[in-house]
Amino acid sequence: MKVVAGNWKMHMGPDEASAFFSRFTPDALGDSVRVVVFPPAVSLRTARAAAPKGVEIGVQNIHPEPSGAFTGETSAEMARSAGASLVLVGHSERRHVFGETDEETAGKVRAGLRAGLIPVVCVGETLDQRRAGKLETVLRRQVEAVRAPLGDAPSFMIAYEPVWAIGTGETATPEDAAEAHALVREALGDLGGAPILYGGSVKPGNAGELMASPGVDGVLVGGASLDPESFLRIAEAA
């Protein structure tokens, strides 16, 4: 079964989340695709209530601690009680805009598991790293950092998202995706049975081709997940 996940980033407050789900009607998909949406934390409860049966809801980011003096943060436990069952960890915007380290990413995986959330860990290289021939080194390092906590996870997913393809309109070729997914799977070793999603400018027009690529178990979609019709077309492509 393919996974089609939407990352709404800092879009879609509660009213918009509710309006999205009134137009998102995945009834015809049946059991052939697993649909997940990651709304902003303030919209989790509304999204959970408005989403059709079978659509899973996840939180985009969590703090490693369960509670405390961390103004502005959301814990895994809070996200869970607001309706999340998955957590996105280590998205490239967390790593590159907010300076999140591999150690922090590992701490967030542990926190998500403690609260019973399924981690979806994002990995991927920058354009400079790719050009310098460091694709394998970067993916190995990012996977290695979360391998120990993931070893205890009942289930998890990885999203391979080349940083140069996120929100840029540039997409990896199906061959690029297949190569990177194979590297991630190798780095995961005995955990390599987990689904590995591709992310980076996935649209209705390229989703089918990417998901048909060897080792690509689904997609993580940013921009194109904000429109119910285009997100539905991507889910149909699965």
Site for ligand PEP, rule CB under 6 A: 7, 9, 161, 166-167, 199-202, 220-224
Which residue among 93, 161, 179, 181 is the active-site one? 161
The three-state secondary structure class of 119 is strand
- Pairing type for strands 33-38 and 196-199 reads unpaired
Complex with ligand PEP: residue 26 or 223, whichever CB lies closer: 223
Q: Is 63 a catalytic residue?
A: no
Distance between CA atoms of 123 and 135, rounded to whole angstroms? 11
**Residue 69 C-beta: closest distance to ligand PEP, Å:** 30
Answer for the pair 202, 210: CB distance below 8 angstroms, yes or no: yes
Complex with ligand PEP: residue 9 or 45, whichever CB lies closer: 9
Distance between CA atoms of 12 and 37, rounded to whole angstroms? 11
**Residue 223 C-beta: closest distance to ligand PEP, Å:** 3
Could you write out the DSSP letters of every residue in 18-59? HHHHHH--GGGGTTSEEEEEE--GGGHHHHHHHSPTT-EEEE
Nearest CA-CA partner of 72 in 38, 50, 98: 98
**Residue 108 C-beta: closest distance to ligand PEP, Å:** 16
Which residue among 56, 91, 100, 179 is the active-site one? 91
**Residue 38 C-beta: closest distance to ligand PEP, Å:** 9
Distance between CA atoms of 59 and 86, rounded to whole angstroms? 6
The three-state secondary structure class of 126 is coil
End-to-end C-alpha distance for the chain, whole angstroms:
8
Q: Is 161 a catalytic residue?
A: yes
**Residue 52 C-beta: closest distance to ligand PEP, Å:** 22
For residue 123, count CB atoms less than 10 angstroms from its CB and return exposed for 0-12, middle for 13-18, buried for 19 or more. Answer: buried
| Active-site amino acid positions | 91, 161
